[in-house]
């Protein structure tokens, strides 16, 4: 028996408010006559449970959800790594990534709003089967990487609390899997969400940590690039954790799901843009807070070191607070990420996709979901350094991201898909620049890595 | 029967199956394998490549006939009428003439491009009651024409299409749906003449149970969903809409053309319609109500005045009431005229001249009463078993459910302070309120 779960949209790096706006009861959406949202109030209480008012929006507003976005394990590790290794050096790059994220998310929700189809379905209908298979493969690869990072995050958090990861990860995987399939995820989700609020200590920590505001300001506007391999690696990881492939699928699916029509597009776009900006602002505070606390101490060593950034807020309890947030955020994403990938693949393949079907009825969907969780938990158990693993998964995302972006770009350029809402010439140039930029970073990294292998690095 | 004999039997059976499969395979042509294949003239020289196959999807035929090919010759695309084709084989086309009469392709009514509009797109499998995507289409070359006979929906076929060209041309009919049993959507296709629009599969669509149809509607994309709704009779569609998840229904009504949506809501049971309208914004609600006949709209407005979760919010209107001076035969005749309300008249309320409630006569009592008996006498006789179960519109639905359970009745009457009935709550609405959500969970729910 499953009931409907309304899962937070907070559970992923760079999640946007695009999938959130409708749950919002105070964004002004409710007052717009054409808004895709019912008026708040009693109309929201439905006979079959609160459908729109997700757990998240009940706890707080959509802004919070978006802020939670950058807070999954891999995101925190990557941002903290950026802060500890390059102090404020990556800030300008993050500003660029923010612009990229805004554009990419806007394209995803535009496709969703105007076609009423998910990205998986659109890719299958618009590209050849081989290209569809490539996209599906990339998405699964990137998402499995993400799932690995979520479980690694859970493991790291428990290690902070003194529990070895091999004792935690398998039960956590089984628990998440059964929660989703047997349908009490909705309640668990609220608990995870409240736990992940711990990361809201970061903005506070940034202010209390007395960063060099002058330097921060300069680094935000002055371009800074180091041709070193470490910097490129981290830059790709930053791209991967922010503009992760799965986010585009997720944002589009959310819009389709709300039944938003082209008329609602303005509102949806505002949501997407605000959400993306907000998420990136939070990411920036994590970098700055970490830089102020442990900046310049070389690459991030451990989760305990990352937790130090929270010392100004929590003092001795910093590690506890950090672990707490990490468990919540990782568990949130650990369910949504594999589900959304399975959903997109099921959509592209045209098979049953629903959690309440038996394995016989929906083998592909449930099989993919199970496989991702199993594989994610297994890889997370390998005795690799956790931080390396976390950043590594984000590098993988960053490498795959440009491939998925090309699909998105081609789809939004096609008049046969979007009609008048297709990219105009100027926008096309801008977005192409973004995609080329992201692809260039990935290529540089690949070339450097290969050169390193053959001893020229 | 000895073991050897049994083994021999089994072997013979297996061989039969293999040869049957082979026969089917050789007689079918895979569309995926045909696209990109060479087009040769009589002498066997290649003149071009197949780009797409044109078939008349919406026509009088049971199986859509292929009306021509779109081929690429050098850099030009041209249309080749079907009567120029001598043979269609796995991945190869031979032409009848050496002379090519090429034209640019323009769609004629009911025609679709199979590879572009049908393959890889959604379609409804009417027998399996699900929405699926066409992995491949199979054509059967007959003596005088080629027809589209089936749709392949299996995953292995997708893998075959990913493979090298040699695999692609070979049909793998593992799970093939007969063309009669699918409802395809040609997004770009114009419909054929109106009288042939109802193909076999569409009439098959009408055999689906409303709940199954609701599942299918929930699975379809936006345009396909609207197309399917257009094919269904409004009453049938309305039954399915009543079964849909409220959120999905809300989306569906929002994206449908307003006049069509109004028609559908008009066909729904009033209580379900009111609930669907509650989910929409005020502007959308008004637009739909204005598209309806004024009497129905007024009825719905009065239902909408009540809050959700109260008895008033769950009631449906009373399509039929009786007066004490009527005879049972008269009431039965009126009932007969209300066939479309079959589902929401479990009993007939008796009202006095002032519109106040006197009694509630269950259908059973109406059925067994004498034709000439007066309604007044019948309701008086029934009064000895207790008064009709009534509730006020403001009470909570859960409380109303308790009343219903206590009274062991099948429905409740909702009455205002002056004792005038406003509507009736049916047992199924009470069930909906009592039972936890038991719908299929789509991942979509996760996004909310």
d(CA B409, CA A282): 59
d(CA A379, CA A144): 10
Measure B114 CA to nearest chain A CA, in Å.
Answer: 12
Query: What's the pLDDT score for residue B446?
Result: 41
Contact B308 A45 (CB under 8 A): yes
Note the pLDDT tens digit of each residue in A74-108. Answer: 888 889 888 888 888 888 989 999 899 889 888 98
Query: What's the pLDDT score for residue A357?
Result: 62
Q: What is the DSSP string of B140-206?
A: EE-SS-EEEEEEE--HHHHHHHHS-HHHHTS---SSEEEGGGEEE--TTPPP--GGG---HHHHHHT
pLDDT surpassing 50 at residue A171: yes
Q: CB-based contact (8 Å) between B261 and chain A?
A: no
Backbone angles phi, psi at B95, to 5 degrees: -95, 155
Average pLDDT of the segment spanning A413-442: 89
Contact B441 A343 (CB under 8 A): no
- Residue B441: which of A4, A115, A351 has the nearest Cβ? A4
Residues of B within 8 A of A259 (CB-CB) are 247-248, 250-252, 254-255
Mutate to test the interface with A, among B186, B281, B447 (most CBs of A within 10 A): B447
Which range in A96-110, A243-257, A328-342 is most confidently predicted, on average pLDDT?
A96-110
- Residue A354: which of B283, B433, B441 has the nearest Cβ? B441
d(CA A59, CA A63): 11
Task: Name the least confident of A213-227, B45-59, B187-201.
Answer: B187-201
Q: Which helix (H) or strand (E) holds B347?
A: strand B347-351
Measure A209 CA to nearest chain B CA, in Å.
Answer: 37
Q: Is B280 exposed, middle or buried (0-12, 13-18, 19+ CB in 10 A)?
A: buried
Average pLDDT of the segment spanning A412-432: 89
d(CA A112, CA A110): 5
Residue scoring higher pLDDT (B344 or A232): A232
Q: CB-based contact (8 Å) between A444 and chain B?
A: no
pLDDT surpassing 80 at residue B142: yes
Residue scoring higher pLDDT (A2 or B120): B120
pLDDT surpassing 50 at residue A10: no
Average pLDDT of the segment spanning B245-250: 80
d(CA A439, CA A443): 6
Note the pLDDT tens digit of each residue in B394-404. Answer: 888 888 888 88
d(CA A6, CA A1): 16
Q: CB-based contact (8 Å) between A9 and chain B?
A: yes
Q: CB-based contact (8 Å) between B278 and chain A?
A: yes
A265 to each of A114, A399, B147, B372, how far by Cα in Å? Answer: 8, 30, 43, 64
For residue A145, which of A439, A394, A326 has the smallest C-alpha distance? A394
Residues of A within 8 A of B134 (CB-CB) are 350
- Residue B162: which of A4, A9, A130 has the nearest Cβ? A130
Give the domains, in start order, of chain B with CATH numbers. Answer: 30-189 (no CATH), 208-305 (1.25.60.10), 321-434 (3.10.580.10)
Query: What's the pLDDT score for residue B321?
Result: 86
Q: Are A273 and A61 in contact (CB under 8 A)?
A: no
- Residue A4: which of B132, B255, B445 has the nearest Cβ? B445
Contact A4 B307 (CB under 8 A): no
- Residue A54: which of B251, B444, B448 has the nearest Cβ? B448
Residue scoring higher pLDDT (A194 or A213): A213
Residue with tokens 């997370």: A380
Note the pLDDT tens digit of each residue in A128-160. Answer: 888 999 999 999 998 898 899 889 989 988 988
pLDDT surpassing 70 at residue A352: no
E-only strand ranges, A163-207: none
pLDDT surpassing 60 at residue A41: no
Query: What's the pLDDT score for residue B377?
Result: 87
pLDDT surpassing 60 at residue B200: no
Task: Name the least confident of A62-76, A86-100, B325-339.
Answer: A62-76
Contact A43 B133 (CB under 8 A): no
d(CA A283, CA A384): 25
Q: pLDDT grade, residue A123 (50/70/90)?
A: very high
pLDDT surpassing 50 at residue B238: yes
Q: Are A252 and A107 in contact (CB under 8 A)?
A: no
Contact A351 B132 (CB under 8 A): yes
Residue scoring higher pLDDT (A457 or B367): B367
For chain A, the average pLDDT equals 77
Would the CA dihedral through A27, A31, A35, A39 be positive or negative?
positive
Q: What is the helix, strand, coil percentage profile of chain A, to 5?
A: 75, 0, 25
Q: Collapsing DSSP states into helix, strand and coil, what is residue A385?
A: coil
Note the pLDDT tens digit of each residue in A265-292. Answer: 887 788 788 888 888 888 888 899 888 8
Query: What's the pLDDT score for residue A131?
Result: 92
Contact B153 A350 (CB under 8 A): yes
Query: What's the pLDDT score for residue B438?
Result: 45
Interface of B with A in 328-347 (CB under 8 A): none
Q: pLDDT grade, residue A18 (50/70/90)?
A: very low
Q: Are B93 and B50 in contact (CB under 8 A)?
A: yes
Residues of A within 8 A of B251 (CB-CB) are 257-259
Q: Chain centroid to CA B220: how far? A: 10
Q: pLDDT grade, residue B2 (50/70/90)?
A: confident
Average pLDDT of the segment spanning A30-54: 31
Residue B326 tokens, joined = 């009527």
d(CA A412, CA A425): 12
CA atoms within 13 A on the CB side of A75: 31
Q: In this prediction, what percent of chain B has a pLDDT beyond 90?
A: 0
pLDDT surpassing 60 at residue B262: yes
Average pLDDT of the segment spanning A377-394: 87
Q: How many contacts (CB atoms, under 8 Å) link A and B?
A: 147
Report the chain B residue with the minimal C-alpha distance to residue A39.
Answer: B281
Average pLDDT of the segment spanning B176-195: 64
Mutate to test the interface with A, among B443, B444, B445 (most CBs of A within 10 A): B443
Interface of B with A in 77-136 (CB under 8 A): 120-122, 130-135
A391-421 burial code (b ≥16 CB/10 A, e <16): bbbbbbbbbbbbbbbbbbbebbbeeebbeeb
- Residue A349: which of B158, B251, B436 has the nearest Cβ? B158
Which range in A304-318, A432-446, B191-205, B429-443 is most confidently predicted, on average pLDDT?
A432-446
Measure B118 CA to nearest chain A CA, in Å.
Answer: 9
Average pLDDT of the segment spanning B211-227: 82
Query: What's the pLDDT score for residue A412?
Result: 93
Query: What's the pLDDT score for residue A44?
Result: 27
- Residue A1: which of B283, B438, B445 has the nearest Cβ? B438
Query: What's the pLDDT score for residue A185?
Result: 66
Average pLDDT of the segment spanning A189-198: 78
Query: What's the pLDDT score for residue A432?
Result: 93
Give the domains, in start order, of chain A with CATH numbers. Answer: 3-24+49-453 (1.20.1740.10)
Query: What's the pLDDT score for residue B199?
Result: 52
């Amino acid at each position: 028996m499953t009931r409907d779960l309304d899962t937070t949209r907070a559970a992923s790096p760079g999640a946007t408010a695009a999938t959130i706006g409708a749950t919002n009861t105070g964004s002004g959406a409710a007052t717009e006559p054409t808004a895709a949202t019912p008026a708040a109030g009693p109309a929201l209480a439905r006979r079959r449970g609160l459908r729109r008012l997700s757990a998240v929006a009940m706890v707080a507003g959509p802004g919070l959800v978006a802020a939670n976005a950058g807070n999954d394990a891999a995101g925190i590790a990557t941002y903290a790594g950026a802060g500890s290794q390059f102090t404020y050096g990556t800030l300008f790059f993050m500003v660029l990534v923010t612009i990229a994220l805004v554009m990419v998310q806007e394209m995803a929700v535009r496709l969703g709003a105007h076609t009423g189809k998910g990205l998986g379905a659109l890719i299958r209908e618009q590209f050849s089967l081989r290209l569809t298979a490539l996209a599906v493969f990339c998405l699964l690869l990137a998402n499995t990487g993400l799932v690995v990072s979520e479980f690694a995050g859970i493991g790291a958090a428990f290690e902070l609390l003194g529990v070895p990861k091999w004792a935690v990860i398998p039960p956590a995987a089984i628990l998440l899997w059964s929660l989703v399939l047997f349908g009490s995820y909705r309640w668990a989700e609220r608990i995870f969400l409240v736990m992940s609020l711990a990361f809201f200590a970061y903005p506070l920590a940034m202010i209390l940590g007395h960063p060099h505001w002058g330097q921060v300001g300069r680094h935000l506007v002055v371009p800074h690039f180091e041709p070193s391999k470490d910097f490129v690696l981290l830059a790709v990881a930053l791209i991967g954790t922010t503009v992760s492939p799965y986010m585009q699928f997720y944002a589009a699916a959310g819009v389709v799901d709300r039944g938003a029509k082209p008329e609602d597009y303005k509102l949806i776009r505002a949501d997407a843009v605000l959400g993306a900006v907000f998420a990136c602002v939070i990411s920036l505070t994590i970098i700055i807070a970490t830089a102020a606390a442990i900046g310049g101490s070389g690459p991030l060593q451990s989760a305990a070191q990352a937790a130090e950034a929270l010392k100004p807020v929590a003092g001795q309890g910093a590690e506890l607070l950090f672990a707490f947030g990490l468990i919540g955020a990782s568990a949130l994403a650990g369910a949504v990420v594999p589900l959304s990938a399975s959903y997109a693949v099921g959509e592209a393949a045209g098979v049953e996709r629903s959690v309440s079907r038996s394995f016989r009825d929906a083998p592909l969907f449930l099989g993919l979901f199970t496989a991702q969780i199993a594989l994610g938990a297994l890889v997370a158990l390998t005795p690799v350094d956790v931080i390396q693993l976390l950043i590594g998964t984000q590098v993988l995302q960053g490498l795959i991201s440009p491939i998925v972006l090309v699909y998105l770009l081609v789809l939004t350029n096609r008049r046969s898909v979007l009609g008048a809402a297709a990219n105009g010439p100027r926008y096309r140039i801008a977005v192409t620049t973004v995609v080329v930029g992201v692809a260039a970073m990935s290529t540089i990294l690949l070339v450097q890595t290969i050169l390193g292998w053959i001893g020229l690095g | 029967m000895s073991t050897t004999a049994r083994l021999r039997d089994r072997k013979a059976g297996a061989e039969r199956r293999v040869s049957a499969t082979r026969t089917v395979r050789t007689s079918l042509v895979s569309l995926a394998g045909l696209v990109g294949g060479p087009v040769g003239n009589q002498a066997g020289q290649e003149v071009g490549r197949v780009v797409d196959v044109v078939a008349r999807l919406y026509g009088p035929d049971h199986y859509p006939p292929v009306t021509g090919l779109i081929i690429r010759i050098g850099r030009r695309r041209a249309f080749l009428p079907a009567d120029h084709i001598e043979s269609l084989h796995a991945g190869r086309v031979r032409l009848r003439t050496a002379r090519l009469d090429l034209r640019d392709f323009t769609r004629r009514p009911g025609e679709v491009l199979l590879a572009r509009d049908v393959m890889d797109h959604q379609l409804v499998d009417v027998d399996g009651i699900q929405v699926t995507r066409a992995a491949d289409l199979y054509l059967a070359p007959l003596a005088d024409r080629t027809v589209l006979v089936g749709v392949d929906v299996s995953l292995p076929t997708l893998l075959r299409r990913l493979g090298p060209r040699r695999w692609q041309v070979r049909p793998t009919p593992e799970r093939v749906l007969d063309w009669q049993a699918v409802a395809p959507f040609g997004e770009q296709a114009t419909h054929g003449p109106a009288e042939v629009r109802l193909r076999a599969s569409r009439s098959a669509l009408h055999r689906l149970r409303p709940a199954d149809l609701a599942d299918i509607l929930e699975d379809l994309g936006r345009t396909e969903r609207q197309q399917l709704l257009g094919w269904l009779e409004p009453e049938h569609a309305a039954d399915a809409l009543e079964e849909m998840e409220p959120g999905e229904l809300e989306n569906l009504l929002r994206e449908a053309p307003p006049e069509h949506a109004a028609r559908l809501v008009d066909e729904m049971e009033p209580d379900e319609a009111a609930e669907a309208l509650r989910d929409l914004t005020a502007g959308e609600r008004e637009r739909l109500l204005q598209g309806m006949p004024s009497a129905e709209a007024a009825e719905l407005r009065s239902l909408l005045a009540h809050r959700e979760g109260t008895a008033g919010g769950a009631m449906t209107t009373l399509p039929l009431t009786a007066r004490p001076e009527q005879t049972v035969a008269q009431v039965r005749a009126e009932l007969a005229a209300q066939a479309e309300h079959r589902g929401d008249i479990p009993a007939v309320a008796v009202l006095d001249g002032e519109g106040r409630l006197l009694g509630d006569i269950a259908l059973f009592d109406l059925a067994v009463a004498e034709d000439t008996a007066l309604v007044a006498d019948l309701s008086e006789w029934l009064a000895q078993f207790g008064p009709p179960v009534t509730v006020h519109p403001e009470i909570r639905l859960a409380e109303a459910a308790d009343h219903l359970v206590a009274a062991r009745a099948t429905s409740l009457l909702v009455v205002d302070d002056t004792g005038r009935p406003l509507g009736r709550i049916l047992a199924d609405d009470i069930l909906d309120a009592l039972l936890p959500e038991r719908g299929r969970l789509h991942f979509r729910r996760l996004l909310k």
